[in-house]
Structure formats: structure tokens, C-alpha cells
Amino acid sequence: MSKNVIAVVVLIVIVGVVIGIYIYYTQPKPPAVISIGSVRVPTHLDPVKTTGADEFNLEFNIYDYLVEWEPETLNVVPGLATSWETSENGTVWTFYLRQGVKFHDGTSFNASAAKFNIDRYIEKGAFRSGLKYITNVIVVDDYTLKIYLSHPHPLLLRHLSIFIGMVSPTLIEVYGEDYIDTHPAGTGPYKVIEYVEDDRIVLEANKDYWDTPPKNSKIVLKKYADSASLKAAFEAGEIDIIWSARGDLFPTDVEDLRKKGYNIIESESNMIRYIVFNEAQYPFNDTRVRKAIAYAVNRTKIVNVVFSGQASELYTLVAKGIWGHLDTFPHRNLTEAISLLNDAGHNTAQKLEITLYYSSSYYGTAEEYVAQVIKEDLEETGLISVTLQNVEKATFREQYKAGQYGMWLLGWFPPIPDPNSYLYYFMNPIMANAIFSSHYNNTEADSLLSQALSTYNQTLRQELYEQLQQILAEDVPYIPLWQLKQFFITTDKISGIQVSPIAYFYFHTIEKK
């Protein structure tokens, strides 16, 4: 009796498995999918909430902006606005909008949709304080939009091209604000068809895209817990592309994959790494000490020893690849460092004792080696003794903001590719204090910054920013150290990856054989 039952069950299982395998092999294969693995995926997709690079990046792929930019050159190009003009005094901008564009939910894109989004951003947007210069947005007709500014602002086009993704207004009206966190509808090249938090986001090509439609039909953005599992998944053939935007993959893992013959595309990323000083703390209140440290650090060693060459030495705060970048900081010079320290009254008998704070849980294990290298370099002067202090990620930011550290390692990757994004926050006294507690205060620098932000004259702006970078090298409130590289590691099947120096990744050009 019970034996019969077992026999029947076994039979059913066998039949089931056979049928299953049959169906498995006879069902049509799903369309080619390109999977991109990363240790990070966005946590939401609403442009007004976005402050982080992961969200920005995905939003570029699902939303369009009034104006856009070419990935390689970063030049501004038409987006949902086909053309635009500026009034004589530079405070009124008129945008002529593209016709016949539809959101993924079917809503038509027009001037009131654009106004809706700009207004929404000005009201709620994360970076709205930087957009206070926009005073009014007016719908002239269905496809003409006027934006009024309080004063000329050279970053308007950049802001429009990065902060204000065009979301379907109907979607928000019908489903509410939170809905678009996971179910966005833009006009962009991709629609989000599946959103599994902390796991994957599935994008489907928008067949009705107004511009050249994507060269692939489906993109899956897959999140991995860490470098090791990302690498394992890639080697097991589960993903086609590893995107390591900001040092997500260990240098040794990159080298290993290179040795195994995978394609590796590398370029600058927009992330810079530097030392911050708290000028309110002894001995960093002494410019000579800060300068001496700037002479003593050995960027070549950091780049070669710690990152196996997978980073670039950095001698200014403006990242390479951003216009206006100018090397102003000195290369290593121990004699200079020693004489500065002597000037400041430090000698072998009375060594300068300093502590370098860093957070390896925030920036990865490599951070520990960097700190070690810096310690060795500074101690090579014979006049400094460095204590290293590794701080847990969760407390790091809290503590440096509270002014608890005198010298620490930090990173920066602003969304807007403009020298202002690198210099303003570091050199404007209010920002420098709010963000870094660096207590840096140079009124000349501040006025140069304001000047550069109120003109459309590119040559003038460039001059001003170069001047500012010179001042930085004089004052040394920060010491730029290195700039990260981004890596795309792919199988042979993948081609067409377009690299942008600011580490954003457009998916529509990728092709899979």
C-alpha cells in the first residue's frame, strides 16, 4: 500500500522532471539581455530625491532632459529642447521643445510637463538651494518655455541636463510621489520593467524613442554584495559587464581579470581623493605645516603600490577630464618639506605628532594601505610622527563634521561636470565649513568663485578657475592625492561601450553578439 504510494509519487516526479526539461529546452529563448553587474544599484528613481551618482546614472537612461550632454566630450547638446536662446542680459532663457515625444505611460511631453518638472524640482529637489537663481518658469505655448533667472548663471544648462529629469506628470498625479521611486515613467531610451530592491533593475528598450533607439533590447542592472561575489558572477558568465565606477572592484581583482584575458576598458572617473585639514586645529592652523605635508606626500607610490596603476596622480582639486583642470600642487620634494617644517619650528628632537583619520569601511580596504603609505612618506621627513586611525563608516562623517579630526582622507564625486563643482564647495567659506569643517576662509577666493558663477564668458571662467587652483596650492587647505579610474570589464561578446569621464554610463550604445 505505502509502497504503491511511493511508486506513484516517484513516477509523478520523474514525469514532471522530464516534461520540465522538455519545456525548458523547447521554449523560445528570451531576447538577448545585457547584464551589468555592480556593487551598487539605485535605491530610488525619483529625480527630485536624487543626490547620489548611482541614482543619477540610471535616471540618465530612463529620463530625458531639456538639454543633454555628449558622454565623451561633455558638450551640451539638444535634448527635449531642440534649441534655445538667451536674452541680451542673460536672465531670460527660451527653450523650443521637441514635438511628438511621449512618456512611457503614454502622456505627451509638452511645455507644461516641462514646467511641472522644473517647478517640482525647485520646490522639492535635493539640490534646490543651488537653483535659487531660477525665479520663474513660464509656458509660452505648447512647445515653448521661458525660464527667468535672477542673474546670469553659467550652470543653468548643466543643471537642467542633470538634475531635472522629465517625469510624466500624470503618473505623479495619479499614483502619487512615492510611486515613481520604483515605477518611473520618463521619455528616455529605457523603461523600467522590474525593480527588485537590492537585487536588480530590469530595463527594456523604449521602441518609440524619439532619438536613435537603443542597440539592445533589455538591460539588467544587477547588484552584488562585494567585489568578490561580483567577480565570481562575472567569471561564471552570469553577467556581461562589470562596471566598477569608483574603485568598487579591488585592484588585484581587476589585475586578475586582465590576466585572464577579459576586455578591460578604463578611463578616468570623476572621483577625486584628497586630504582635508581642519585649520582650526593645531598644527594644521600653520600653513607651513600643511604645505610641508603637501611636499612630503608621494602620489606616485600611492598610485603604483596601492592601486597597481589603476588610478591617476592628482595635483589639483578639479578632476582630469573636466575643463579648467590645471595642475598647481607641487610634486614631492622632501628637502622643501623639511625646510618648511624647520621654519615652523619642528625638529628631530621635537617631532611633530599628527593623526591621520581614514575610513576603510567607507572607501574600501585599499584605504588602509593608502594611509600606511602616507604615514611612511611623512615620517620620511624625520620630523613628523603619524598615528593612523581607522574610523567606522557610520561615525566617520559625523565626527569630521563635528570638527573632531585635524587631518583626514576623503573623496568627492560631484554630479555636475564643471570646475565650480570641485572648487565652490571647498573654497566657499560657508560650504567648506558646512561640508568639511575645514575652516578655510579666503575672501579673495570667495569673490572669484562668485564672479565665475555669474558670467557666461567661458574664457573668463576658465581664467578664474585657474586662478582659484593657484590659490589652493598656496593655501593648501586640502591636498589632492589621486583620482580614481573607472573600469568596464566585459566578455568578448560586448561592444559599443561609451565612456564618459564623469563616470556616467549610457546603456543604449552597448551591443551584444
Q: Which residues contact 117 (CB under 8 A, 6 or more apart)?
A: 47, 164, 165, 166, 167, 169
Query: Residue 431 — φ and ψ, nearest 5°?
Result: -65, -45
Q: Least CB distance from residue 337 to another protein, whole Å?
A: 30
Using CB under 8 A, pick the residue from 63, 84, 95, 224 that binds another protein. 224
Query: Which residues of 374-450 form beta strands (DSSP E)?
Result: 384-390, 407-412
For residue 356, list its beta bridge partners.
Answer: 388
Given the complex with another protein, which of 53 and 384 has the nearer CB atom? 53
d(C-alpha 486, C-alpha 271), whole Å = 9
Instruction: For the segment 114-133, give every residue that binds another protein (CB under 8 A).
Output: 126-127, 129
181 binds another protein (CB under 8 A): yes
Residue span 293-322 as binding mask against another protein, x where in contact by CB under 8 A, dash where not? ------------------------------
How far is the C-alpha of 449 from the C-alpha of 419, rounded, in Å?
10
* Residues contacting 268, CB < 8 A, separation 6+: 312, 319, 320, 321, 483, 484, 485, 486, 501
Nearer residue to another protein within complex by CB, 45 or 111 = 45
Select from 76, 139, 233, 499 the one that contacts another protein (CB under 8 A): 233
Binding of residue 395 to another protein (CB under 8 A): yes
Nearer to another protein, 113 or 241 (CB): 241
Contact between residue 145 and residue 139 where contact means Cβ atoms under 8 Å apart: yes
30 near another protein, rule: CB under 8 A: yes
Judged by CB under 8 A, the residue of 331, 332, 397, 439 near another protein is 397
- Determine if 220 is a binding residue for another protein (CB under 8 A): yes
353 binds another protein (CB under 8 A): no
Least Cβ distance, residue 94 to another protein (angstroms): 30
Contacts of 354 (CB under 8 A, 6+ apart): 283, 284, 378, 384, 385, 386, 387, 406, 407
Nearest distance, CB of residue 490 and another protein, angstroms: 15
C-alpha cell at 97: 521643445
What's the CA gap between 30 and 449, in Å, rounded? 54
Of the listed pieces 227-235, 326-334, 375-383, 502-510, which binds another protein according to CB under 8 A? 227-235
| C-alpha cell belonging to residue 316 | 589639483
Task: Using alpha carbons, select from 268, 165, 164 the residue that is nearest to residue 504.
Answer: 268
Interface residue with another protein, options 264, 305, 435, 471 (CB under 8 A) = 435
Residues lying near another protein in the complex (CB under 8 A): 19-21, 23-24, 27, 30-33, 35, 43-44, 51-53, 126-127, 129, 178, 181-182, 194, 196-200, 202, 218, 220, 222-226, 228-229, 232-233, 235-239, 392-395, 397-398, 411-415, 425, 431, 434-435
